[in-house]
Structure formats: structure tokens, C-alpha cells
Chains A and B, each alone.
Chain A
Amino acid sequence: MAQGHFILYDKEFQGFQIALKKLLADSYAKIVFLVDKNGSLLASAGETADFDTTSLASLAAGNIAATGGLASLIGEKEFSILFHEGERDNMHISVVADRLILVVIFDRRSSVGLVRLRVRRASTQLERILRDVDEKALADEDGGIEELTEEDIESLLK
């Protein structure tokens, strides 16, 4: 198994993208993105050009991690849904299958109730794709970039 790496192949990546696009349309959101708990952006949909998605991904993961810490202090496993209300835009953050973070940014065209409802449906689909990712990881003995050479690494650092 490809230990220590999270490897995403084209089929599952496209699957994530399709699921996010559907969620974006169904929930009338501005932007939707999927992050792993370490803060890496996996996929996104919507008006991403207006946002610094790398920073958003990192802070969303930090947010979930911090509230997870708070949860364990009061004997909860996790707070699986976070909602931040702004003057113009709102943010709905939820944990998918204990490993991924789904972030939806929406304005007054939508509502927290609708987003919550659509997120629940999308999460089921995302979980299914994640299972495929895991199955491939189990089947892939080597994983990673096995053909990487010392010269490749040196050339990057020049």
C-alpha cells in the first residue's frame, strides 16, 4: 500500500469535481471546495478566481482542527458542522467521512437550511468516491512517484 501518501487519480478527482459542481448548483452557493484535514485543497467549484483557495483550505483545516480540540475537551468526538455568518457571505464547513472537509460559501441567494440539506446529500456521494480512493491505494503497492531520481530533486532545488 502507498503508505504515508494520499493519492488521487483522475477518475476520483473528476468524481469529486462533479459532486462539487452539483452541490454548487443545488445549493445556490458561490463557491464549494473540498480539503483534506491537513489543509490541502482537493477540488473546488464556483467563483474560485475571486478567492485565495490555498489559504482558505489551510484555514478551514485549522478551524476544524481547533474546534475538534475544543470538542474533545468537553467530551465530544468532533463538531462535525461549523457555520460562520458574515454581513454578506456565509461559510458552512462540514467533515466528510472523518477525513475530508467540505466548505460551502454562500450569500443571501441561498440559506443555511438549504446548504445543510444539500451538503448532507453531497457528503454521501463524496464518501463513496473516497472509498474508491482507498481501494486504489490498497491495490497500489508502490504508490508515490517511484521513478524520482536524485537528479530530479537536485534540478528542482537549483
Chain B
Amino acid sequence: MSFINYSSREINCKIVYYGPGLCGKTTNLQYIYRRMNPDSRGKMISLATETERTLFFDFLPLSLGEIRGFKTRFHLYTVPGQVFYDASRRLILRGVDGVVFCADSQLTRMDSNVESMENLRINLREQGVDGDRLPLVMQYNKRDLPHAASLSDLHALLNYRNVPEFEAVAKSGVGVFETLKAIIKYILVDLKKGGR
């Protein structure tokens, strides 16, 4: 649910990076944090375990300038990817405006990708959000690793809605901003249509 403040002329939207454990959701946010102009981003908060696995969420606020006199702010969140953190994932999805589904391209992770996508649909449905209409962008991460699945396989397995999809190597930043721009555009177009 986007928040529009006519008094301070601000639009706030929430983007959630979703996907299986260790697929690179936090790495996406870390790269964005490093590369964004400090004036355009706030502090990045990571609620992680001692071994740097996301425990609750990462949070990164971005201000992207004005559109029709409204300041645009995007709040980026990641969910904990590990299966047993499902309760936390549901909480973070609350009020989401758009999802980046970050898939791990490694062949051995295909089951986890599919399971996570299914989990996303269930968790959205539980909150009364239509998973087939919510702005969604796919990112196939870790394209640099050997034994990566082919794009057509990833598409066939995960991209059942045929939404925009991007290849990425989040560690070095490949595809990170392309993905971010795509989801922002999708959300704004959705906003223009008057929401879901």
C-alpha cells in the first residue's frame, strides 16, 4: 500500500526482495547502498545473525527525486530466505507495493527457487494480495557461477506471469540497478492506474 502525503508532497512505496536463502537479496541492497549518492539514500539497516544471515529484514530507504511535484521515496526490504523464517516473511510483506523475486541460478537451487516462489504466492494470498497482479520483477542472480541453469529453464520454472526478468551478478552489481529500475517503473505505472 503506497502512502501519498499531499501536505508534504511525498509518495512512499515499499519494495520487497524475496527469494530462497543465500540467493543474494541482501547483496542487492548492499550494492545499491554502496553505489547510490549518499544524498539519495538513508542508512541501511540489517537485522542479521552473527553469521550475517538475515534474521528479520534489511532495510534501505531511497529518495529518487520528484515526479509531478511529489518527492518519491522507496523503502527497500529483504526477507529472510531460510525456510523456517516464514512468519517473519509474512510480516515483511505487509503493505508491499512491488516484489523483486531474486532466484539463485545454480542448478542445485532450482527446488529452493520454486519453493520460495510458491511460498511468496501463499503469503501474498494470506494477506489478501493478488499475487498475479502485484508488480513483480524477476532477477536471475549468480549468472557467473558454473552449473547455472539456462535462462529458458529459469523462465519456464519461475516466470509464470511473464514479467520483466533480468540476469544478474549482484556481487559485482551486474543487473542490480536494471532490476531496481524495472520494479520502480512497474510500481509507478500501477500507481497511475489507481492501485490494485
Contacts and interface: CB of A to CB of B under 8 A. Distances in A.
Contact of A152 (B14, B56, B59, B67): B67
A155 B6 contact: no
A55 B11 CA distance: 17
B97 to A, nearest CB: 8
Given A4-B2, A155-B67, A39 B14 contact: yes
Contacts of A147: 68
Interface residues of A, number: 41
Contacts of B2: 4-6, 144
Contact of B189 (A9, A40, A143, A153): A153
Interface string A53-89: 0110011001001101100000000000000000000
Contacts of B14: 38-40
A42 interface: yes
A4 B65 contact: no
B194 A143 contact: yes
Contacts of B66: 156
B130 to A, nearest CB: 11
A50 interface: no
Bin chain B's interface residue count. Answer: 35 or more
Contacts of B64: 156-157
A59 B185 contact: no
Nearest to B180: A157
Given A38-B95, A62-B57, A4 B185 contact: no
A38 B192 contact: no
A8 B68 contact: no
Contacts of A13: 5-8
Contact of A148 (B43, B92, B188): B188
A145 B191 contact: yes
Interface string B31-44: 00000000000110
B3 A10 contact: no
A77 to B, nearest CB: 15
A3 to B, nearest CB: 5
Interface of B: 1-8, 11-12, 14, 42-43, 45, 47, 56-57, 59, 61, 64-68, 70, 72, 75, 87-88, 90-92, 94-95, 181, 184-185, 188-189, 191-192, 194-196
Interface of A: 2-10, 13-14, 36-40, 42, 52, 54-55, 58-59, 62, 65-66, 68-69, 142-150, 152-153, 155-157
The 8 closest A-B pairs by CB, nearest first: A4-B195, A38-B95, A13-B7, A65-B91, A148-B192, A10-B7, A40-B3, A40-B12
Given A5-B1, A37-B95, A145-B68, 15 more contacts: A6-B1, A7-B6, A36-B3, A38-B94, A38-B95, A42-B5, A54-B43, A55-B45, A62-B91, A66-B91, A68-B91, A145-B4, A152-B188, A153-B188, A157-B184
